[in-house]
Structure 1
Amino acid sequence: MEQFLIDNPWVIAVLILWTLPWKGWALWKAAKNDDKPWFIVMLLVNALAILEIFYIFIFSKRKETK
């Protein structure tokens, strides 16, 4: 895997370009909803935007409906 990333540095760029908008949107929603635990977890954990997508489309909706 390491050799693959060394031979194909564009993969890292694609992953960064995929992750940054999702992370920014999710962190913004968490801050807006006053979800400090979610904000901290999403800030520290990098899961290729999977956690952020779940937060945006599932968990933040629960806050908005309350």
Structure 2
Amino acid sequence: MFIPLLIVILLWTIVLKGYALWYAARGSQKWWFIALLVINTVGILEIVYLIWFRPTSSHAHTPAHHSSEQA
């Protein structure tokens, strides 16, 4: 009975952590990325980040143009 519960918790954590890390990296939120990577909260910190702190599409990081492209 313990093994299936452990597998569900592990999968839950991996999916949420990956999703939250992806948003933090795309939004250039270095400190959130580090906190989400280091702190293991079984998805709680990831849920808090994804609901209240992830960047919206208007704040998403866009690649900078190189000076050679502008010439």
Range class of TM-score, shorter chain? 0.7 to 0.9
Q: Which residue of 1 aligns with 2:42?
A: 48
Larger mean CA deviation between 10-19 and 28-37 belongs to 10-19
Runs of 4+ with >6 A deviation: none
Work out the number of aligned pairs and report it.
58
- Relative to its length, the structure with more helix (as a share) is 1
Residue 28 of structure 2 corresponds to 34
Q: Looking at CA atoms only, which structure, 1 or 2, has the larger radius of gyration?
A: 2
Partner of 1:20: 14
Deviation at 1:15, TM superposition (A): 0.7
Is 2:49 the counterpart of 1:59?
A: no
Look up the equivalent residue of 2:29 and give its one-letter code. D
TM-score with structure 2 length normalisation? 0.72
Structure 2 gap segments, 5+ residues each = 60-71
State the distance in 2 between where 1:8 and 1:25 align: 26
Give the CA deviation at 1:40: 0.4
Aligned AA (1:49): G
